[in-house]
Amino acid sequence: MDGTILDLAFDNYVWKDLVPRRYAAAKKISFEEARDELFAKYEAAQGDLEWYCLDHWNERLGIDVVKIHHDVTHKIGYLPGALEFLRAVHASDTRVVLATNSHPDTLDLKDAVTGLADYFDGVYSSHNYGHAKEAQAFWHALQDDVDFDVETTLFVDDSQSVLRSAQEYGIRMLVTVNRPDTSEPMRHGSEFRGVEGVGDMLP
């Protein structure tokens, strides 16, 4: 979802700027010290379900991370061409499923702002399975719910580790979004077929 359909600039702003500022204020340390400390914590949790869990960070950091997200909802938005893409595939006979690592609280918040869930036939959060998309257990659980065909399913994501996990599970058609954050330049060097945005896949 984030970095594939929605602009990752929102999440990067929250986690790299706002959270360190609030953490620095709470701990009475400098912004630079807060960033260094937080980025080490982020790196240690990367790829685990805890990394995506707001409850984990609320408890670990001692600040209201959920409120921080709500404070800047005006920055939530679609990536260029993403809404047009969703409208097009939703109007077709294609089944479209959202598989996300997003915490249910942020998922609900972003849906309230954008209405993105209206364009999907199902929305599945890794938090309901207890495993992030980086883990094979996630794909087995999703398969039980969705019953998708690995030969005919197209999976799009901006995370290389998630795409590798999908590949290991057997999904053959994999595409990466090379510009998940509009405030940053294009990414290069992916081992997967890349598009600047999902809108590029429309005829």
| Residue 127 pLDDT exceeds 90 | yes
Residue 159 near residue 51 (C-beta atoms within 8 A): no
What sections of 73-125 are H helices per DSSP?
A: 82-91, 104-114
- The share of the chain scoring above pLDDT 70, in percent, equals 100
In a domain, 1, yes or no: no
In a domain, 23, yes or no: yes
The pLDDT, as a whole number, for residue 47 is: 83
Q: Ramachandran region of residue 12, left (φ > 0), alpha (ψ -120 to 50) or beta?
A: alpha
Name the pLDDT band for 135 (thresholds 50, 70, 90): very high
The pLDDT, as a whole number, for residue 40 is: 95
Q: Measure CA 150 to chain center.
A: 21
In a domain, 4, yes or no: no
Say yes or no: 20 and 94 in one domain.
no
The pLDDT, as a whole number, for residue 177 is: 98
| Residue 154 pLDDT exceeds 90 | yes
Name the pLDDT band for 198 (thresholds 50, 70, 90): very high
Torsion of CA 156, 162, 166, 167, to 10 degrees: 100
With a CB cutoff of 8 Å and minimum separation 6, the contacts of 130 are 49, 137
Find the domain containing 55 and state its range.
Answer: 9-74
Q: Span 158-175, mean pLDDT?
A: 97
Of 74, 92, 110, which residue sits at a domain end?
74
Torsion of CA 81, 82, 88, 89, to 10 degrees: 150
Of 74, 108, 127, which residue sits at a domain end?
74
Residue 188 near residue 178 (C-beta atoms within 8 A): yes
| Residue 46 pLDDT exceeds 90 | no
Task: Report pLDDT digits (tens) over 54-78.
Answer: 999 999 999 999 999 999 999 999 9
The pLDDT, as a whole number, for residue 203 is: 84
Mean pLDDT of the chain: 96
| Residue 157 pLDDT exceeds 90 | yes
Dihedral angle sign, alpha carbons of residues 42, 45, 47, 50: negative
The first and second tokens of residue 16, run together, are: 């790299």
State the pTM of this model. 0.94
Residues in the chain: 203
Q: Span 16-36, mean pLDDT?
A: 97
Domain count across the chain: 2
